[in-house]
Amino acid sequence: MAARTDSRQRMLDSARELFQAQGYHATGLNQIVAAGKAPKGSLYFHFPGGKEQLAAEAMQQAAETVRARLEEIAAAAPDAATAIGAAVDLLGTALVESDFRGGCPLAAVAQDAGPEAPLIAAACSAGYASWRASIAGLLERHGASAERAEGLAMVVLSLIEGALLLAKTDRDIAPVRAARAHLMTLLSEGNG
């Protein structure tokens, strides 16, 4: 049973990395199976719903990993600005270390899969919602009202996502640095 679980998880990990770097449509099932070092017939055994099920589950895991990391950073930070700054630094460093192939683990798939893949759309939407909720919770713990925290969390996440996309597209970390600087100003002015 452990071998089956290992094979399944290797495919999920490979899918997540490949989808993040290449997008949903540019990533083939054979490529995922090969990268995951899984037996060829195991894909449909583990994911009877095929590529869409695999992608949805990979996005769920990716979202949970990021959310958990956000929570760890927030727990260790003395204030919201420090926590958000540390999260942006982590994401920016990961992007550079991936030679600008990384970025947000959900973005490429969310943009690429489209409405014809409702499982993937739901997984990405839920992932983004969990990140917004984590950011809003952080802001509330540091004094923002619930309403203010929700709106500000949307702005924070949108700014980070946009910066990662621009940095990846331009192969330049400058948008991430600019977003971080503006977020520090915004969050240090008593807004969170």
Give the whole-angstrom CA distance, residue 37 versus residue 152. 43
Query: What percent of the chain lies above the pLDDT cut of 90?
Result: 82
In this predicted model, what pLDDT tens digit does every residue of 112-161 receive, in sequence order? 887 888 999 999 999 999 999 999 999 999 999 999 999 999 999 999 99
Q: Does pLDDT of 3 surpass 60?
A: no
What is the structure's pLDDT at 1?
41
Give the whole-angstrom CA distance, residue 169 versus residue 176. 12
CATH number, domain 51-191: 1.10.357.10
* Residue 57 · residue 66 · CB < 8 Å: no
Domain spans of the chain, in order of start: 51-191
Instruction: Taking each helix axis as running N to C, give the angle between helix 80-97 and helix 174-186, from 0 to 180 degrees, rounded to the nearest 10.
Output: 170
Q: How many CB atoms lie within 10 A of CB 166?
A: 17
Over residues 51-76, the mean pLDDT reads 96
Q: Does pLDDT of 188 surpass 90?
A: no
Q: Which two tokens stand for residue 66?
A: 């990021």
pLDDT bracket for residue 40 (50, 70, 90): confident
